[in-house]
């Protein structure tokens, strides 16, 4: 594929994914409002702690396999069917290890970091673990196959189903937190089935049987563990701030803080969409082209996030009490503190994807370790005196340091000055230019997704 057609493919996929991810984020936001209205700060805080634990522990047991599957599958190092079969073996093995480990963690920390989380809810929620891994595997293989837009569509469909089940649970059957957890389990199972349909052409009957392959273990875990070590320390993934806030303030503080997180991190939709498309392309392309795509995308991401961040901060004083209720008004402090760090993190996320896609995940790992240390260290130091605002300060500082670290190494590794990632070019945001680059409109050749 020529450079122009490749660029068109990337741009069109970004536009497609943007629509799906915006809808997904919209559903998540509405769900957050409904839960806050029905359960209040404490009930919402309990659910946030519970889901943060599940997401974090799932990440801890994933060992970076998502990026490894995309990298090796996209480069054709292994057939996607063979990768799926190998992954099924490890999903089964990891599930057997996880369930007793998670139970032990709960009984040890149920009165501190897991404060307020009842055991029936917890033991229902850990059923999400194998479903998380299965969705991760199937989604990664769909991206490796070039079916990026379809993968995003499946995720959007899964969240649509979750939203419908959530409304039924809260307003029709009155099941509260238990119904919310069941809704999540059903929607994740449906998402996995749909993603299997997306990659069905890549699979044969024998690929549905788990297979152990020592040679693949060394290669896939070898790459994945480098990425894993970086990802597990990423503050907006491991949510250490949630556990610290629960430890010092209890579930009600977490509930209020989580509203601030939801609004402040809304701007991260933009880089997450770009990464959804960019990482598989960088993995399967050459380094120089990947650097150019990263610079071009980072300019748009930074200024797009900055504009969105200003709007969110300006609207939050009246929007938070209107949407969530007056009990959540103090969340404004978290929005204002986290937003600067989130805006700077946007270009950093793209640079991190560039390094991982070009086989240098250790650079992203180091930046995330720095961010994690700041998030936990500052958060623990400031939370006793400033409440959840202290956790927000630690998180924002971690974001800033992570981004600056990545900017430094991007300039060092590629020779591209970091200032180019922050240049403002009005043409970048011209609808005509974007559509033309995407191959849509007069004179634009439509590019089919591989």
pLDDT value at 11 more than 60: no
CA angle 109/132/275 to nearest 5° reads 110
Per the domain annotation, does 442 fall within a domain? no
pLDDT value at 19 more than 80: no
pLDDT band at 449 (very low <50, low <70, confident <90, very high): very low
Residue whose tokens read 């579930």: 251
Q: In percent, how much of the chain has pLDDT > 70?
A: 81
More confident residue, 235 or 45: 45
Considering only 5-14, 19-28, 50-59, 327-336, which range has the smallest mean pLDDT? 5-14
Distance CA 256, CA 204 (A): 48
Per the domain annotation, does 111 fall within a domain? yes
Residue 292, C-beta contacts closer than 8 angstroms, at least 6 positions apart: none
Rounded to an integer, the average pLDDT of 392-403 is 91
| pLDDT for position 185 | 92
| pLDDT for position 56 | 82
Distance CA 195, CA 200 (A): 9
pLDDT value at 450 more than 50: no
| pLDDT for position 5 | 56
pLDDT digits (tens, 9 = 90+) for 242-290: 989 999 999 999 999 999 988 988 778 778 767 666 666 666 566 666 6
pLDDT digits (tens, 9 = 90+) for 417-438: 877 777 777 666 666 655 555 4
pLDDT band at 440 (very low <50, low <70, confident <90, very high): very low
Rounded to an integer, the average pLDDT of 114-134 is 87
Per the domain annotation, does 278 fall within a domain? yes
Round the average pLDDT of the chain to a whole number and report it.
81
Per the CB < 8 A criterion, the answer to whether 328 and 41 are in contact is yes
Structural domains in the chain (count)? 1
Per the domain annotation, does 75 fall within a domain? yes
Per the domain annotation, does 210 fall within a domain? yes
pLDDT value at 176 more than 60: yes
| pLDDT for position 334 | 94
Specify the long-range contacts of residues 358-364, CB closer than 8 Å, at least 24 apart: 358/282, 358/283, 358/287, 358/290, 359/71, 359/223, 360/413, 361/64, 361/67, 361/223, 361/226, 361/227, 361/229, 361/230, 362/226, 362/229, 362/230, 363/406, 363/409, 363/413, 364/227, 364/230, 364/231, 364/406
Q: Which domain holds residue 154?
A: 3-437
| pLDDT for position 173 | 61
| pLDDT for position 68 | 83
Q: What is the number of other CB atoms lying within 10 angstroms of the CB of residue 205?
A: 7
Q: What is the number of other CB atoms lying within 10 angstroms of the CB of residue 289?
A: 15
Per the domain annotation, does 445 fall within a domain? no
| DSSP code for 62 | T
pLDDT digits (tens, 9 = 90+) for 213-243: 888 888 888 777 766 665 666 665 567 889 8
Per the domain annotation, does 387 fall within a domain? yes
Rounded to an integer, the average pLDDT of 345-359 is 81
Reading the block at residue 23, the tokens are 């809808």
More confident residue, 6 or 366: 366
pLDDT value at 6 more than 60: no
pLDDT band at 354 (very low <50, low <70, confident <90, very high): confident
pLDDT value at 446 more than 50: no
């Amino acid at each position: 594929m020529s450079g122009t057609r490749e660029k068109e493919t990337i741009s069109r996929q970004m536009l497609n994914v943007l629509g799906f991810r915006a809808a997904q984020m919209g559903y998540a936001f509405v769900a957050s409002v409904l839960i806050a209205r029905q359960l209040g700060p404490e009930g919402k805080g309990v659910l946030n702690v519970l889901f943060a634990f599940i997401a974090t522990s799932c990440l801890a047991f994933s060992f970076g396999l998502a990026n490894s599957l995309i990298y090796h599958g996209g480069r054709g190092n292994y057939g996607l069917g063979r990768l799926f079969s190998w992954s099924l073996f490890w999903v089964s093995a990891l599930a057997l290890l996880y369930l007793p480990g998670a139970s032990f963690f709960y009984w040890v920390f149920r009165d501190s970091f897991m404060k307020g989380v009842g055991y029936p809810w917890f033991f229902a929620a850990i059923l999400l673990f194998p479903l998380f891994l299965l969705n991760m595997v199937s989604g990664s293989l769909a991206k490796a196959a070039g079916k990026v837009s379809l993968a995003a569509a499946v995720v959007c469909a899964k969240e649509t189903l979750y939203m419908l089940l959530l409304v039924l649970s809260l307003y029709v059957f009155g099941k509260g937190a238990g119904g919310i957890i069941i809704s999540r389990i059903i929607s994740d199972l449906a998402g996995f089935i749909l993603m299997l349909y997306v990659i069905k052409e890549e699979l044969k009957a024998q690929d549905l049987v788990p297979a152990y392959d020592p040679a693949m273990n060394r290669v896939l875990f070898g790459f994945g563990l480098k990425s894993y070590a970086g990802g597990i320390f990423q503050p907006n993934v491991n949510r250490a701030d949630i556990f610290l806030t629960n430890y010092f303030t209890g579930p009600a503080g977490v509930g209020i803080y989580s509203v601030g997180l939801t609004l402040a991190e809304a701007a991260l939709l933009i880089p997450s969409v770009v990464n959804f498309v960019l990482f598989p392309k960088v993995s399967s392309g050459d380094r120089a082209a990947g650097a150019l795509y990263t610079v071009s995308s980072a300019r748009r991401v930074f200024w797009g996030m900055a504009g969105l961040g200003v709007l969110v901060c300006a609207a939050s004083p009246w929007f938070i009490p209107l949407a969530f209720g007056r009990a959540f008004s103090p969340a404004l402090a978290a929005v204002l503190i986290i937003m600067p760090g989130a805006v700077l993190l946007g270009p950093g996320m793209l640079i991190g994807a560039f390094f991982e896609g070009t086989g240098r995940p250790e650079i992203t790992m180091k930046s995330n370790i720095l961010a994690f240390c700041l998030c936990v260290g500052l958060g623990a130091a400031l939370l006793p005196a400033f409440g959840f605002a202290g956790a927000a300060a630690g998180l924002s500082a971690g974001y800033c340091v992570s981004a600056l670290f990545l900017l430094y190494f991007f300039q060092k590794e590629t020779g591209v000055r970091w200032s180019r990632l922050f240049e403002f070019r009005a043409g970048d945001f011209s609808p005509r230019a974007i559509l033309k680059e995407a191959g849509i409109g007069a004179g634009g050749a439509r590019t089919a997704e591989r």
